[in-house]
Amino acid sequence: MADLHPVVQPLLSRSPLDDGFDPPGSQANSTAPGVTIRLVRDRSATLIASGPRSAAALERRLHEALGIALPGPGRCSQKDGIRVLWQGPARWLVLAGAESGTEERLRAIVGRDAAVIDQSGALVSLHLEGSRVRAALSKILPIDLHPRVFARDDTRSTAAGHIGIQIVCVEDTPCYLLLIPRSTAPDFARWLIASSAEFGVGVE
C-alpha cells in the first residue's frame, strides 16, 4: 500500500529577486561597469523598539552583551559581522548573518524592556559599489551623497519616488547598502538599473 503521509519540506526564505533581474541595459559596458549591484543573501534583520524610559538601560545591556554601541541619529555601528542601524528614537535595526541566531540572543538580552521583531522577510538588501554609483543614486534619491555630508557609517531613511528605502554608506570608495521593502524591491531594482545604464552596470 502506498504511503499516504505527505513529505514535509522546510520553508526557505526567498527574496523576490532570487530569480534574477536583468532588464535591457543591465549588461552595458559589462567589462568595466561604473555601477555593480549585488543582491545580499543569507542576512537577518531584527528590529529593536523600546520605550523612552528603558532606552538607556537597554543600550547598556546590549553594549555589554554584544560589545557594540547603539548608534545615534543618522548613524550605524558594526562589530564582528553585526551592523546596527539607527531607525528612530529608541529604534534600531540589527543586521547579521542568517544563521547567527541574533534574534534569539536579542530576545534574551532585552527581556521585557523592548520589542524584538524579525524583519528578515520584509526587507531586501542590495549592495552597490563602483566609480559611478554615487551619480546613479543621485538620479533617484533626494539626498546629498557627497562624502562631506554622507560618509562611512552614515545612514538615512529616504524615498525613491513612492518607494521608501534606507541607505547606509559602507565605505567612502563609494559603497552603499540599500534596504528596500520586499513588495517594492523588483520595481526599485529595475529603476536602479535603468538609472545606472549610462554608466555601465553589472548585476550579480
Statement: residue 8 has pLDDT above 80 = no
Instruction: Please check whether residues 155 and 197 belong to one and the same domain.
Output: yes
Domain-terminating residue out of 91, 118, 145? 118
CA dihedral in degrees (195, 38, 118, 51; nearest 10)? -60
The pairing of strands 76-79 and 123-129 is unpaired
Residue 169 domain flag: yes
- Pair (197, 130) in one structural domain: yes
Is 184 part of a structural domain of the chain?
yes
Higher model confidence: residue 55 or residue 36? Answer: 36
Residue 152, domain CATH: 3.30.1360.120
Residues 92, 139, single domain; the answer is no
Domain boundary among 58, 86, 118: 118
Q: pLDDT for 13-48, tens place per residue? A: 555 555 555 544 445 444 679 999 999 998 999 999
- What tens digit of pLDDT does each residue of 83-128 get? 999 999 889 999 999 887 888 999 998 888 899 999 999 999 999 9
Q: Do 149 and 138 have their domain in common?
A: yes
Whether 114 and 127 share a structural domain: no
Mean pLDDT of 121-146: 96
- Provide the domain limits for residue 70: 43-118
> Where does the chain have alpha helices with state H?
55-66, 102-110, 133-138, 185-196
C-alpha cell of residue 152: 562611512
The reported pTM is 0.84
Residues 50 and 85 in one domain: yes
In a domain, residue 20? The reply is: no
> Which of 118, 136, 169 is the last residue in one of the domains?
118
Q: How many domains does the chain have?
A: 2
Beta strands per DSSP E along 3-149: 35-40, 43-50, 76-79, 82-88, 91-97, 114-118, 123-129
